[in-house]
Chains A and B, each alone.
Chain A
Amino acid sequence: MPDPNVPDIGPSPSPDPSRAAGGLRVTVDLNRCQAYAQCCYAAPDHFTLHGAEALHYDPAPTAAARDAIERARVSCPIQAILVEDAGSGHP
């Protein structure tokens, strides 16, 4: 496997505010989401259900939300929540 600490090379991509702040990137696979709402209990500021089944979520939480987002991620029974953590050393 390539060394995760090797930065990406090539022309630098456009500045990404969430990255600069050490924030996270979140997306939910809404095909698989069953609207069980466990994530909404785990991190109510970042995941909410609208209507019966429309899950709204914050796709760019700040670093301060790391623990809450991680709680939400592991609480999802079908692992539909995908998170990239700037603190993880990923590009």
Chain B
Amino acid sequence: MTCDHLVIVGASLAGLRGAEAARQAGFAGRLTLIGDEPHRPYDRPPLSKQVLTGSVAPAATALPNLVPLAAEWHLGSAAAALDRGERVVTLQDGRRIAYDRLLIATGARPRPWPDAAQGRLAGVHTLRGREDAAALRASLAEKPARVLVIGGGFIGCEVAAACRDLGLPVTLVETGPTVLAGVLGTYLGAVVGALHEARGVDLVFDAKVEALEDDGTGRVVRARLADGRAIETDCVVVALGAVRNTEWLTGSGLAFDEGGVDCDPEGYVVDTEGRPDKAIAAAGDVARFPHPLYDGRRVALEHWGHAAAQGAHAARLLTGHGAGPYDEVPAFWSSQGGVTIKSVGLTEGADSLVIAQGDPKTGRFLALYGRAGRCIAAVSFDSVRWLPAYAEMVAVRAPFPPIRGGVDQGRLSEMAPGLAQRDET
């Protein structure tokens, strides 16, 4: 089977890096990119950081295009349906685009506030795209009396930190016992929480925002917590995680839900019977795939480096310039309140943690996560120089806890990471 026409749906990081990788590998056929946003691919990480503090303009984060693409762009037009029998993608405006090979890179969007009417109140924001960031930046520039961030994940934490950079009063409400409990566990989550508290963020844990209330004119003025408490606020950021953009695959016969579209180890999408379709691959936030490093557990990542790497892998696969399972070690960074957190591997299911370098009390340290006697993840706080050595241990699933060199160094003390334990199935 040859590929004369590669069609990429989703014109963002995974789609762009995929297009570039296909050209770099020598693909000389037709290349089409379809994106529902009206913009050329742009970078999202600055949107919750420098864009909110005003040092970078919302429109300034266009991604560099690293090789000539000679592509056909359909921007501002969403793919609405996929017919795998005919090999046709239908756009919202009815146009039909035939493909030989298709790369699905439609990413994710913020999980909306559960009450749609409350979610539409003036002053209530979510954050994913350029327009979202511009609107939130404009709100923050008006100096709201108090910002309320709902959700203590990475985006919630970064937004709260940006508010403090701007000197704005901010409250962060989280249903769990610490921020970042789902990704880092409660041990390191508490370290991050302390950092934000010291910078003046008001943290409210084990609490749930039940309703957003307006003043009768459609502007948010208050949030009501489940325990009856009220928080007066004129600017709310809903940061409850993401849902994958998979609705357009309805009727395609592919296996998908709001957690992603299922792929085989190479990256080909699978149908509801589990059979791969070798004309279609998925990459980036939208793809859910079995990771070889984690016993084939299905994961859908929301990491910049992963979107770039998997986009390139999938495009090479589809154009006949690559094969084999996708096994890139997951990695991400976050910066909040001047602290840079970098992570390699996946912490999920970790049963033990050691501080392998530095000391959380000094703010600079590296934590290593273990599961069943193997290293599964390493997380550095302002200590990136130590990270590559531990990333290597994660990549080869080295024994955990690691053996320390030198007679003077004692055994590392193991702690509970405070992560939910996953069922063995």
Contact = CB atoms under 8 A, between A and B. Distances in A.
Interface stretch (B66-74, B245-253, B294-302): B66-74
A31 B305 contact: yes
A16 B305 contact: no
Contacts of A8: 69-73
B40 A53 contact: no
A50 B333 CA distance: 15
Interface string A1-23: 11110101111011011110000
B406 interface: no
A82 interface: yes
Contact of B39 (A14, A50, A83): A14
Report the interface size class on chain A.
35 or more
Nearest to A52: B382
**Which residue, of B32, B55, B335, has the highest number of chain A Cβ atoms within 10 A?**
B335
Interface residues of B, number: 48
**Which residue, of B38, B68, B332, B335, has the highest number of chain A Cβ atoms within 10 A?**
B68
Interface string B317-335: 0000000000000011101
Nearest to B77: A11
Contacts of B64: 24-27, 82-84
Contacts of A17: 59
A24 B63 CA distance: 10
Contact of A56 (B50, B332, B342): B50
| Chain A interface main SS type | loop
Contacts of A26: 64
Contacts of A34: 384-385
Contacts of A29: 305, 308
Contacts of B333: 30-31
A35 B62 contact: no
Contacts of B38: 13-14
12 contacts: A3-B70, A4-B70, A14-B38, A16-B62, A18-B60, A19-B62, A27-B61, A29-B308, A30-B333, A31-B342, A59-B43, A84-B65
Interface of A: 1-4, 6, 8-11, 13-14, 16-19, 24-27, 29-35, 50-54, 56, 58-60, 82-84, 89-91
Given A9-B72, A10-B32, A54-B338, 18 more contacts: A1-B26, A4-B68, A8-B69, A13-B39, A14-B40, A17-B59, A25-B62, A25-B63, A26-B64, A29-B305, A31-B305, A31-B331, A31-B332, A34-B385, A50-B335, A54-B335, A59-B56, A90-B65
